[in-house]
Amino acid sequence: MSTTSDLIITGGVIVSDAYNTSADIGISNGKISEIGDLSRRKSKKTIDAKNLHVLPGIIDSQVHFREPGNEHKEDMKSGSKAAVLGGVTSVFEMPNTQPSTTTIPNFNQKLSRAQGRYHCDFGFFIGACKENIADLSQLENLPGCVGVKIFMGSSTGTLLIPDDEMLRKVLASGRRRAAVHAEDEDRLNERMYIRDSGGGPELHPQWRDVDTALLATKRLIKNARELNRPVHVLHITTAEEINLLKTARDIATAECTPQHLTLVSPDCYDQLGTYAQMNPPIREITHQRGLWAGISDGTVTAIGSDHAPHTREEKDEGYPNSPSGMPGVQTLLPIMLDHVNNGRLTLNRLVQLTSSGPAKLYNASSKGKISIGFDADLTLVDLKRQQTISQDWLASKCGWSPYLNKKVTGWPVATILRGKVIMQDDQLIGDPIGEVISFG
């Protein structure tokens, strides 16, 4: 082993999903090479992390960077810039672009567009649709593919798997864990009159009600069990689903978003209007308490931002013409660190949900741990730093956040990707160096 490291991080508290320990980290050739007392080691560069906590690089397991097709809202470069400023080192990007990511040419087009433009590391989901079911077992194994994404409720273009017959064909078509947006399409269509009854965004959780989510999640678990296909249920919003998923850990894992853990109906619709509109919707406090219970008891295994930006002009169209979704990749960590400081979860649990959990779910090679031989992806945070989420800090093209002017305690102060410092003190450093992630 070389006695000279490329980078040594000294004096910080290393946080994994199991322990907190004060130790130095040595990095060589983009990998973690040593952990311990490295005071006698030489290095080309040293970072003093005194009074900071060193986390495994944050993974945002659900983002929509809108490229290709809607680059006026976001693109790969702006979205990944926002990620890195927020302490995120890897993102898993969704397939509902235009065209949808459902074929090898469309997947390869995304990989080609990403070269030299991603500030963080990345992987892309393949979208399941009627036309590609026969090819999914091949598509899910493409280099850089996170897995298959299934939309059970209405989505972009042909990306809709509305009934059990088609769902079973998709689930039978591969082996890797599939990510699922679980809302029941038939119930959404039956209840469209609520959406169109002339009210505002407060109608959104009435239209897309608890049963819309619960019905789909029940159907999904039943079929997944029968076909022995592991699934990951995205953006859970109801206490009922948490209770159901608690009994289905043999086949299903669950994900929550910071916004469902932070914003509450009806207040969010009074304060933010259509800017609080997303699918599935923000619900009442009783459901939020259910989500937090799922985090406490281990039912929830990941937190993803569901970063889904729209322009102010689009959001201002008025309900129901306003599109659903909000930005979140840059604020994921600050919002969750604020919850840590408020006593809602421990820092170790946050690491499970945002680093080791997502890496394990999709078998992201060499990601998610501070361990020798793993990629030197690290996020340095100041747990005591108080900061206001300001307009000039935001990097997303959409230019807004549901948390604008919110004061939080806990802040990412440096982002390190494969041993390179790419953000320090709210400033991006260097050109984009993001690479495609390998998945086992």
- The region, left, alpha or beta by phi > 0 then psi within -120 to 50, assigned to residue 375 is beta
Does 6 qualify as catalytic in the annotation?
Answer: no
Q: What CA–CA distance (Å, rounded) separates 65 from 256?
A: 19
Q: Which residue in 306, 338, 375, 377 is the catalytic one?
A: 306
Among residues 266, 252, 274, 83, the alpha carbon closest in space to that of 179 is found at 252
Q: Which residues contact 138 (CB under 8 A, 6 or more apart)?
A: none
Q: Which residues touch 196 (CB under 8 Å, ≥6 apart)?
A: 320
Q: How far is Cα of residue 429 from the mean position of the Cα atoms in its chain?
A: 23
- Structure token pair of residue 277: 């509109």
DSSP per-residue string spanning 104-146: HHHHHHHHHHHTTT-SSEEEEEEEP-GGGGGGHHHHTTSTTEE
CA-to-CA separations, 323 to 142, 224, 276, 295, in angstroms, rounded: 31, 31, 10, 29
Q: Where are the beta strands (DSSP E) in 6-82?
A: 7-10, 13-15, 20-22, 24-28, 31-36, 42-43, 46-48, 53-56, 58-63
Question: Alpha-carbon distance 208 to 201, whole Å?
Answer: 11
Catalytic residue numbers read 306
